[in-house]
Amino acid sequence: MKKHYYLSILLVFILGIQTKAQEALFGAQQITSPEIHENSTVTFRFAAPNAESVEITGDFLPTVKMETPMGQMDGPGKSALTKDDKGIWSFTSSALSPELYSYSFIVDGLKVTDPNNPFLIRDVASVTNVFLVGEGQAALYRVKDVPHGTVAKRWYDSPGLGMDRRLTIYTPPGYEQSNEKFPVLYLLHGAGGDEEAWIALGRTAQIMDNLIAQGKAKPMIVVMPNGNVIQDGAPGEGSDGMYKPQFMVPKTMDGTYEANFMDIIKFVEANYQVKADKANRAIAGLSMGGYHTMHISRFYPNTFDYMGLFSAAIMPREDATGKVYSDLDGTLKTQMDNGYKLYWIAIGKTDFLYDANKEYRAKLDAMGMPYEYVESEGGHIWRNWRVYLTQFAPQLFK
């Protein structure tokens, strides 16, 4: 009797698993999207027989001007899909250069993700699908058969901010088995981002694994903190629970983050095998993170030997009145006089911050403060910032 009872329970369990599997199978559309072809064109498909119109928008399409909280910026264009007699809408792109791309559909005016592509990514409050095309630059964004580092989410005590806070940290391949001490890159996100941004949108772990494996970058620890001082963690990951992320939260870029940045450095140097000196510290960031990089590195002018300003948001702010922002010229001169190995500035030709960066470079030129400058195509986009990381990291700790 017991044997039959256990067999019955097992049968119910197996049938339950099969039912769930069938639900997942029948709930999915049985079409392929995106389909990446050998000639690097990509076909997108969407099943919506009753829809009046379906469009696609993504960063692989020609850009258009858009109004944003930061002013007019380049944004993704859109194209129409065509419907066949089965109600499947489709669109095939032109040949795309190697890159990580993002996209969404617009169905009768409503933006939606691709139900046939499970690969999604969040940028501030927008969720889009992503896909990779080709090798070349995109090869650095792929998971390759090379030794891999470790990505951890850690909580650290910030006495200056009065809370425990979350950060993302990459340790290089072999770190756990090594007694060696490593240099550290502090990598900062832009407005609306958080400690998830660089590891997800920036492909930091894949880039570092591949550069280290190729011998192009030294093994290093990469620390990606949360630059929003009112948060202890990213939306959905902190004590405030699940809420809609905002582009500019209170106390953004008011000096509080910069003034308390040493809390992060102290945590890293107390808990990781690091070389705790100026020659083995680098700091870099995109947009707001570039602004933070500029101010942190001059406010603590003998702390970093390597600085990277990626599309830095160097602009006057009415609330920039704290101690961190005082005596800009004097602290920059102190930083210059102390000496450093690399002050690296990069920006796209159509970036809305281009003129502000041009003015900042003129200030450095007038001071005689040395820097390296890279000017790329494109605007204020992750495509540029990933490339900048692949260019900046190989120059560190030489």
pLDDT tens sequence across 210-219: 999 999 999 9
> Which CATH code fits 35-134?
2.60.40.10
Dump pLDDT digits (tens) for 272-326: 999 999 999 999 999 999 999 999 999 999 999 999 999 999 876 666 667 889 8
pTM (two decimals): 0.88
397 vs 377: CA distance, rounded Å: 28
Yes or no: say if 377 and 387 are a contact pair by the CB < 8 Å rule: no
Residue with structure tokens 């702010």?
Answer: 317
Residues 6+ apart with CB under 8 A from 207: 140, 141, 386, 389, 390, 393
CA atoms within 13 A of residue 329's CA, in its CB half-sphere: 6
Q: Classify burial at 262, counting beta carbons within 10 Å of its beta carbon; exposed 0-12, middle 13-18, buried 19 or more.
A: middle
Please, which residues have CB within 8 angstroms of residue 38's CB and are 6 or more apart in sequence?
none
Q: What is the DSSP letter of 242?
A: S
> DSSP state, 378?
S
The secondary element (H helix, E strand) that includes residue 22 is helix 2-27
Domain ranges (residues) in the chain = 35-134, 145-395
Say what angle helices 328-338 and 288-299 make with each other, to 10 degrees. Answer: 70
pLDDT (tens place) for every residue of the chain, 398 residues total:
444 544 454 444 444 545 444 444 444 567 999 999 999 999 999 999 999 999 999 999 987 766 655 555 667 889 999 999 999 999 999 999 999 999 999 999 999 999 999 999 988 768 899 999 999 999 999 999 999 999 999 999 999 999 999 999 999 999 999 999 999 999 999 998 999 999 999 999 999 999 999 999 999 999 999 999 988 888 888 888 887 777 778 778 888 999 999 999 999 999 999 999 999 999 999 999 999 999 999 999 999 999 999 999 987 666 666 788 989 999 999 999 999 999 999 999 999 999 999 999 999 999 999 999 999 998 999 999 999 999 999 999 99
Structure tokens at 17: 């698993």
Q: Which CATH number fits domain 145-395: 3.30.1330.60, 3.40.50.1820, 3.10.20.30, 1.25.40.80?
A: 3.40.50.1820
Per-residue pLDDT tens over the stretch 237-252 = 888 888 777 777 877 8
